[in-house]
Amino acid sequence: MGRAPCCEKMGLKKGPWTTEEDQVLISYIQQHGHANWRALPKQAGLLRCGKSCRLRWANYLRPDIKRGNFTKEEEDTIFQLHEMLGNRWSAMAAKLPGRTDNEIKNVWHTHLKKKLKNYQPSSQVVTKQQSMIKSNGHKNPDFSARPEVCGPPQGSSSELSSVTVMTTAVKQEQMDSSESTFPEIDESFWTQAEDSKMEFSEFRGPNDKLGCQMIEDGMDFWYNLFIRAGELPELPEF
Q: What is the distance between the alpha carbons of residues 114 and 94, in angstroms, rounded to a whole number? A: 23
For residue 148, report the phi and psi dihedrals to the nearest 5 degrees.
-125, 145
Assess contact for 62 and 70: CB atoms under 8 A: no
**Rounded to the nearest whole angstrom, what is the least distance from the CB of residue 62 to DNA in the complex?**
11
Question: Shortest Cβ distance from residue 95 to DNA (Å)?
Answer: 12
Helix, strand or coil, per DSSP, at residue 148: strand
Minimal distance in Å, beta carbon 178 to DNA?
Answer: 37
Please report how close the Cβ of residue 151 comes to DNA at its closest, in angstroms: 17
Q: Which residues bind DNA (CB under 7 A)?
A: 1-4, 6-7, 13-17, 35-38, 50-52, 54-56, 59-60, 87-91, 101-103, 105-107, 109-111, 162, 208-209, 212, 216
Which residue lies nearer to DNA by CB, 122 or 216?
A: 216
Whichever of 85 and 132 has its CB closer to DNA, that residue is 85
Q: Identify which of residues 189 and 216 has a Cβ nearer to DNA in the complex.
A: 216
Nearer to DNA, 69 or 178 (CB): 69
How many Cβ atoms are within 10 Å of 110's Cβ, its own excluded? 9
CA angle 164, 201, 81 (to 5 degrees): 45
Is the Cα dihedral 115, 121, 125, 129 positive or negative? positive
